[in-house]
Structures are given as structure tokens and as C-alpha cells.
Structure 1
């Protein structure tokens, strides 16, 4: 490991000692602002807690165009089942396993803390030659790009943006999907649990989960889909009623664990177990090549319940969940292998007198995005549900004639002796939003190898970080006046 990479990882570890869950960024915002002040850099912030840190040019680069290095401060906070980690106060514990950096029982937050660490390392490196650059750090990227959407003209001055939120070294991303969230509120009614019934909790667990943009086409199963199928099958064969159902943690994560609680007639408890095992066996066959750790657990719930859904509300709840689309909806006809449109059945839970369902739609074609959202709204309407479609964020359309892309390609070939891969992705990046606010912004996205984002298996490949750093330093040098 080079000294430069070690410095980046040291900064990243310090960053990971500070809580930075999406929309709870006050502590990390304070830490970042103090870092800029302590190191003598001009710094500004806005009402959304976005930060801009200005780093002056080194000698010989005074006439070079100003760059913007961009990443987001928040992270998706996921942990393994049974972990007592508290993301509001506990530091992320780094673990080096061979050439990989991961975390102990939690997501690592390399998405996108490693961008901040690289930018800070560049700002502090007195031997590094570079143009003037701004470090733009946004908030609430993971929950809807809210920080980027709140940016105002004039907050950023540079017209060349390097987004460091990509996850495959050697790949330049020049376009991404747009998206929005759809929220369903279905009114439900309850009745008392009859005498002679016992509550049983069923848990679908052991799934890989992952990023709902990056991994949506990998056939990784959603626990929300599976628990809905399981409940439907059990209720068709067992004398039982639906008491509770919940699963998923974030709009951009494929659900890994979901639960349902049933009130089961005592005489049917053995039959319930038989049906669950039959369904589990079928699920394992369906997912034998991807989600090999899938299992269904049954247990007595830790919470005491006194009521279950009425027959009408139960039917509406189960049928609504079963009818929700999940996964790839359409592949791109323009770019081979690119997912055009998808939907993630992200979060569902019974809360009070409503079933709450949060879904995330993505598409590189905004009309198809709206069609998918409206289709979900129509299905929900048939069940009598109220639907909110949150404000959408725009797609980033590729510009294959971009001067920045041509420069990055030339520098990459000169540095590594091979062509980079140039692609558009299905995941959402802030570039689309930023480009819509700052007209004429030339943008590209790249980064080190990061696997299993938005899950406790997230890991960063350290040798790839070294390659990205080398490329970044050579790109800087190419701007010498």
C-alpha cells in the first residue's frame, strides 16, 4: 500500500468515526466544516448543509480552469441481523481482509465517504500539482438527492465536475438514470384476535440485498416480495389472520429481511410449519444460484398483539403487495445491457391504521419513469389507497463529445496503456441534478472498486483506490497552464 493510499484510508477512518446517516448529517457537517477551517481553506455552506471547500491552485496552474470534486457526505446505514451497532453514535469499525477494506457487521460507507477522503488527501498533499478546485459535498443523496436538488446558482463556480461516486475502477460513467419515489398509504381496519389463536412471527432472511440501481438486474431477491408471497400462501391453507408485516430499510436498498406476524388457530400450528417449510423449499430452488443463504424462520414474536386485520383489509393488503412490480421493467433498446426502467419494492410496514409502502422507480427515459409510477398509482387506487409521487430527479444524458471525457480518456490511456470503459448506468447520480442547475457543466464520474453497496457486505478494493488516485493526480497535471 502506498503512502498516499494510506493517507486516504486514514482520513476515511476518521470520517467514519462521525455519524452520517442520511438526513441526520448535522454532526458530519460540523466535522467537515471544522476540518476546512483547521486546515485554512475557505469554506461555505447552505440551508441544506451542502458544503463547498475551495482549494487554491499550485504554481504553474493559475490559468487552468477550476475543477469541482464532488461527493456526498451521507451513507446508507445497514447492519447484520442481531448487531447492536448504533449508527447515531458508534463509529464504523474498519477491517482489512487481504486487498479489501470492509466494516465489522455494518455497511462501510465507502459510498461515498471515500470521495471525501480522496478530495481531502488531494487538498493536503503539498507535493501534488493541481489546478484550483472546489470540494462540493452534498447531503441526503441516498434518500433522494435532496442536497443536490437544493443547490443554488453561484454556490459552485467551476464548470468541470469530477463526481467520485462510481464503483468500478477503469470505468468512466457519462450518464445515469433519473428517478422518483412512490409512497402508498392504504387505510386498514382491525378486529380482536379470536380466542384459541396464537401469534407466530415468520422472517424471510439471509438474502444478499444490495443497491437498487446497481444490483437490480442481478436476480437478487427482495425479502419484501418473498414475505408477501409467503403470507398469501399460508393464508390460503391455514386458519390464520394477518397481524403485522414489515420489511426493508431504505428506498435504494433491495430488502434483505422482512417479517410477518400471523394469528394462527392453535390447532393449525403444525400445519403452518409444514406450509412454511414447503414454501421455503420452493424459494430456495428459485434462488439457488444467487441468494443461497435464504431461509425462513418462525418464532413467537417479542411484542404482544391483541388485534389482527379484518378479512377485507387483509385481502386488500396482501393483494396490493402481491401486485406491486419489483425489479427490471424494461431494458434499454439504445444501450445494450443497460436497464432502462426498474422499480424497487423498498419498504413496507403496518403503522397505525395504514399500510405504508415506499417504492423507488428509476429510468433513463423520463416518460417511461412516469408511466411506471402512474401504473403503481393505478394499482394502488384499485385497492383504495392514497398515493404520493415524490418530486423526480432528472436523468443525466450522455455527451460522447464532452471535452472532459476526451481528456480523461487520453490521460487514462497514457497512464495505464489501455482504454477505459465508457458507460451509462441505471443507478442515480447527482450529476443529472447538478447539470440541470449549473448550465454548461462538463461532468464525468469515476471511482474505485466497491462491492455490495447499501449492505453489511460493502467492501472497497484497496489496489483499485491506488489506481484511481494515480489517475486523478495525472489528470490534475494535464491541466498545467
Structure 2
């Protein structure tokens, strides 16, 4: 293993000791500032807590252009259903598994903690005289995963450089030169309750219906894999059960699914009130639904599980943007039949998955939607839908469809500001330089791609005129899920490439 690879991984492990779920980057921000001051680097923050560390040019590179190396501090905090990990305080355990580094039942935060580690090691190596490089600006942003808050709040003049290397891509040997824009929509369906007796000694019992074991994953780069959506599966099951046993015998009490806007929901929990006389029938029907789903998703979600059991207490732990909250289903009441019908229609009707493929770039998803989360409140049911497209007019089109579906169900809807697409400039001098350096270094051509994910480059490019940008990074599989892992040999290749690229500016 290259000694710098070892140092990068060690630095990454140190970063993973610090809680940094999206919107909770305070501790990692402080840590980065202290690291910079201890190493003798200039460091500053802006109003939204983005961090900029400046590493001066090494001897011979004083007249070279400033290079911005950029990544985001936050991570998507996902864990398996049986994990007891607390992302607000527990260090993320790094498990070395052959050539791979993964978490212990949790996402590992390689997206995008590995960018922080690489940037810090590069700056330190230059200061120690181990490598040569132009002036560097290490730009580390907050809250990329839940809304690009950091780059959207980036102040004019905060960075000086006009050449940006974004280290937030997930396939070594692939250079990203364009990305999709996106917009999140928050749907609220008014929730009406009906008094309903269930529990011990009652005709009706409280039962839990669970969809779990799904692959989930990133709702941009993995939406084309057509993985199961836990929210829609549970809606299918519940609607099918009511049709078979009768709405008067099965009522919805509580519903919760998904964790964040940019993760395909890999689990959903529901509590239902069921006439105990119908238990055997429902148990059989749930088993049949399970077999059907496992057949439908045999390739994409082989570990899919559908469970149904009677419980005494309706307790569920909701993971929202890395924050775990204990929720309890209400006692002696259920959704009104009107609310139930509107909710099922809405969940089954909202688009999810690929909406349109690009007719200009073969194999590229142009437009998609992710039915991301559903939550039961006291007076409303809250749903998040996340739309993406590399064509802004099509982004408006799919957002309009989501809005129409919500309004037809009698729900309210609000749209977030969103973020712009990054249109590729294939004549860029930076792209040409990166291609040549990669070819000289590894004796093969890199791949040049546009991705269906939202990258910070789109916003940075809209704020900083005349900026040349490219995105790259080591190989990361299944980001935004407990199966997230990073290929260690790819970290070494990215380091070697970056070292040679920086040398080319002398």
C-alpha cells in the first residue's frame, strides 16, 4: 500500500470519530479549523460555516494558478435495522474487508469524508516538502446532502481560484463534467382521526406491518437500478389487504418510512388495527405478498422482508437526516377512512424512479423522482418527494406532476428553491489536461461522463464566473446506505493522479 494511501485512510478514520450528519457539522467544522491552525495554515469560515483552508504554493509553483479542492463535510447517516449506533455521539467504526473499507452496520461517510482526508493530506505533504503543488484552497462545505446549503450560501469572493477539483464522485477513472439539477417538494396531507378501540381484551388488536431488507441507495446515481421503494410496497400491501378482508376489519394507525430526501427508502413501518378473527387470513396474504415482492425484486433487492405481527406497544424509531427519534403510535384511535383513502391514493400515484432517459447522452437518466419519506404527525401526514433532471424544463415538468398528484389528494405542497444543473463544457482546458495526465499516468483513457446526481459544481459554477470544474474520486459503492464501502486501491490511484495533475501546473 502506498504510504500516502495509509495516511489518507488514517485521517479518514479520525474524521469518522466526529459526528457529522447533515445539518449537524458543528464539531467537524471546529475540528478542521483546529487542524489547520495546528499545521500553520490560514483558515476561515463564512456565515453558513463553510471552511476554507489555504495552503501556499510550494517552491517553483508561486506563479501557478490557484487550485480549489472541494468536498462536503456532512454525510448521510444510515444504519441497518438491528444497529444500535447513535450517529449523534458514536464514532463510526471502520471495518477493513480485503480491498474494501466499510462501516459496521452503518454508512461509512466516504461520501464525502474521503475528500476531506485527501485534501488535508495533500496540503500537509506539500508543507513537508513531499510533493509540489500550486496554491491550494481546500473548500469544505456544509449540508450538501439535504439541500446544498453550504454552496448555496457561499459568499462572493470567499474563494479565489478559478480551477476547481470536486472530490465527490464515486468511480475512479471516471471524470464527471456535468450533473443534474434538483428540487425537493414537501407534501402535507391533513390527518383526521377516528376513535377506535384496540388492544388487550378488544376485538381488534394492534399489529405491526414492516417492509425491510431493501437495498435503498442514492436516489440519483442508483435510481436507474429500479430498486424497491419501501413506502410504495407497504402501500400496495395495505391496500391489497383491505381489499381482501374489508376496510372495516383493517385500519391504519401509524405510518413511517424512509430517512432522507436523497436515499431510496429501504424500510417502512406501519401500525394497524386488525380484527383478530382475520389474523390467519392476513398472515397468509402477507406471506403471499412477500413471495410476490421477492419475485419482482429478486435481482435488485434479494434480502427483501415483509413482516406482520401483533404488538402491545406501537413504538418506532424514526431516522430523519441522521437524527433518531422515538415515536409511539396513538392509543385507541386510527386514521379516518377518508384520510386513509386519500393517503393510499397519493402514495400509489406519486411517481418514483426513472421518468425519462436522455436522448443526447446514451445511458444517462435525464429526469427522475424519489418518493423519499413519509411521517405521521398529530394533525398531518408529511411526505417528501425529490425530483432531479439535467434539463431544467423537465425538472419543472416532473415537479408539476408531483404537485398535481398532491392537490388531487387534497394535500398541500411547498417546493424548496432547488439547485441548478451543471451543463458540461467539453472544450474545457481542465478536462483536456486531466485526460492527458490520466493517460500518461495509467496508460489508458479516463471516461468522461455526466451524472444524474446533484453536485455542488452546479451551484459553484452559477456563483463563480469563468470557473473550470471537474469532479472525480475513488470508487464508492452503495452510498447513502449501510452497505456503503470504498475500494482502497482506488484511493491510491486518485492520490497518484492528483499528485501528477498538480505537478503539471509548474
TM-score range, shorter chain: over 0.9
**In the alignment, which of 260, 264, 267 is matched to residue 277 of structure 2?**
267
Q: Is the 8 A contact 1:178 1:366 kept in 2?
A: yes
- Alignment map for 1:367-386 (pairs within 5 Å): 367-386=393-412
- Which piece of structure 1 moves more, 170-179 or 194-203? 194-203
Q: Distance in 2 between matches of 1:275 and 1:307?
A: 25
Q: Does 1:294 align with 2:304?
A: yes
Q: Distance in 2 between matches of 1:34 and 1:17?
A: 15
Q: Distance in 1 between matches of 2:50 and 2:231?
A: 33
Structure 1 residue 469, shift from structure 2 partner: 0.4
1:34 paired residue number? 34
Q: Is the 8 A contact 1:192 1:306 kept in 2?
A: yes
- Alignment map for 1:59-208 (pairs within 5 Å): 59-125=59-125, 126=128, 127-194=130-197, 195-208=202-215
Q: Distance in 2 between matches of 1:307 and 1:147?
A: 42
1:353 paired residue number? 379
Q: Please give the TM-score of this superposition, normalised by the length of structure 2.
A: 0.94
Q: Distance in 1 between matches of 2:153 and 2:368?
A: 25
Q: Distance in 2 between matches of 1:328 and 1:248?
A: 18
Q: Distance in 2 between matches of 1:306 and 1:24?
A: 37
Q: Distance in 1 between matches of 2:440 and 2:175?
A: 15
Match of 1:210, SS state, is coil
Match of 2:271, SS state, is strand
Q: Distance in 2 between matches of 1:259 and 1:364?
A: 33
How far does the alpha carbon of each residue in 1:271-325 deviate from its partner, in whole angstroms, 9 at most, with x for none? 1111111111111110111111011011234326321011111101111111111
- Alignment map for 1:360-439 (pairs within 5 Å): 360-439=386-465
How far does the alpha carbon of each residue in 1:189-218 deviate from its partner, in whole angstroms, 9 at most, with x for none? 111124511111110011111000011001
Q: Does 1:332 align with 2:358?
A: yes
Q: Is the 8 A contact 1:231 1:260 kept in 2?
A: no
Q: Distance in 2 between matches of 1:323 and 1:244?
A: 20
Match of 2:63, SS state, is coil
Structure 1: which 5+ runs fail to align? none
Q: Does 1:316 align with 2:342?
A: yes
Q: Distance in 2 between matches of 1:359 and 1:154?
A: 34
1:224 paired residue number? 231
Aligned residue pairs total 480
Q: Distance in 2 between matches of 1:299 and 1:183?
A: 31
Q: Distance in 2 between matches of 1:20 and 1:203?
A: 29
Structure 1 residue 7, shift from structure 2 partner: 0.4
Match of 2:388, SS state, is strand
Match of 2:420, SS state, is coil
- Which piece of structure 1 moves more, 444-453 or 226-235? 226-235
Structure 1 residue 83, shift from structure 2 partner: 1.1
What's the Cα RMSD here? 0.8
Match of 1:335, SS state, is coil
Structure 2: which 5+ runs fail to align? 315-328
Match of 1:253, SS state, is coil
Q: Distance in 2 between matches of 1:278 and 1:13?
A: 44
Q: Distance in 1 between matches of 2:119 and 2:434?
A: 17
1:215 paired residue number? 222
Match of 2:62, SS state, is coil
Q: Is the 8 A contact 1:70 1:161 kept in 2?
A: yes
Structure 1 residue 375, shift from structure 2 partner: 1.0
1:248 paired residue number? 258
Match of 1:211, SS state, is coil
